Amino acid sequence: MANKRLLLIGIETSCDETAAAVVRDGREVRSNVVASQMGLHAIFGGIVPEIASRKHVELLGAVVDEAVKHAGIRFTDLDAIAVTHGPGLIGSLLVGVSAAKAYAYALRIPLVAVNHIEGHVYANELDGAPLRTPAICLVASGGHTDIVHIEAPGVYEIMGWTRDDAAGEAFDKIGRLLGLPHPGGPAIDGCARDGHPSAIDFPRVHFPDSLDFSFSGLKTAAARLWEREGDRHRLADFAASFQQAIVEVLVQHTFAAARQVRAAEVLLAGGVAANSALRQAATAAAATAGVPLRYPHPALCTDNAAMIACAGHHVLGRSGPSGLAFDVFSALPLAAHV
């Protein structure tokens, strides 16, 4: 099966996006359908797990049907199904995995369980080029901030992760404090374009002999400053300075890891990888280091099923089908932290 050009459908329901995508041979995206719940959760200022899982139940069947229709295929043309089984919200994951198992059983085709983080890593292959190893991938999103060392295809180690808040979580919380729309990351990015990133000297946290991250102190410092003297600062300057504090640490740690492993390329992944300041800073750092930099199209940075199908193609080739008895996990590390 590893040598056959496979037509996979991916299913992704780890958080609040109901997504399905058809991908051929791990890289050719035939369809990529995402039903966003952003507006539904915006009034609460964040994701409500119970609402998210119920909405997945309502939407998933139609999203899968649309993905198959847009791909110009029939269900019987599918060779396998890939589905996210963690990490994520348990209720949301159960909806996607239960549906995937039912489709696989009814169609009598293999099913493969995919780690959501590995999906983000492999979103970088959807531009048509295979990953070059060894590689370093910064996976930054609302729930994760990891520096992944890809030693070889499917062989990972975590060189750094967040000890408290993820970068995207910090963006969302401060965005809400500033009165910006949810999610906070894109809103801060847009607001920051009219601001001065050096207007406010926010703290940057670095640990001795570690590439780990910590953004809780930065978040607290920003919150206290805004509550104490927010009227003295331009909103754009505040947003730009807060964003710069996060971006600097992300880029410094990522390229320090790249130097350590002599990376053949550096990758960005996850929702925060769509941030314009991060892309600009990483591009400059890559030019200075003389190492290639890759990042997905913004639509493939946020949660989607094309990346799950791509990763599933590789997992299926390496390990074979997962069967129908696997479980879902709220926490599912991609590899050990070194």
Q: Note the pLDDT of residue 110.
A: 98
**Which pLDDT band holds residue 3 (cuts at 50, 70, 90)?**
very low
Q: How many CB atoms lie within 10 A of CB 298?
A: 14
Q: For the chain, what is the mean pLDDT?
A: 95
Q: What is the CA radius of gyration of the chain?
A: 20
Q: Which residue has the higher pLDDT, 34 or 44?
A: 34
Please give the pLDDT value at position 1. 45
The pLDDT-based confidence of 324 (bands split at 50, 70, 90) is very high
C-beta separation of 23 from 306 below 8 A: yes
Quick check: 312 and 112 in contact, CB under 8 A? yes
Give the pLDDT of residue 2: 44
Residue 3's CB: how many other CB atoms inside 10 A? 6
With a cut of 80, say whether residue 173 has pLDDT above it.
yes
218 pLDDT above the threshold of 80: yes
Instruction: Map out the domains of the chain with their CATH numbers.
Output: 7-123+301-319 (3.30.420.40), 133-291 (3.30.420.40)
Least confident residue range of 31-45, 59-73, 223-237, 309-323: 31-45
Rounded-to-integer distance, Cα 45 and Cα 242, Å: 19
Residues 31-59 have a mean pLDDT of 86
pLDDT single digits (tens) 271-280:
999 999 999 9
Q: What is the pLDDT at residue 260?
A: 98
Residue 45 has pLDDT above 50, yes or no: yes
Q: Which tens digits make up the pLDDT trace of 255-293?
A: 999 999 999 999 999 999 999 999 999 999 999 999 999
Q: How confident is the model at residue 4 (pLDDT cuts 50, 70, 90)?
A: low
Average pLDDT for residues 7-26, to the nearest whole number?
97
Instruction: Categorize the per-residue pLDDT at 57 as very low, low, confident or very high, splitting at 50, 70 and 90.
Output: very high
Do residues 56 and 90 touch, judged by C-beta distance below 8 A? no
Tens of pLDDT, residues 58-101: 999 999 999 999 999 999 999 999 999 999 999 999 999 999 99
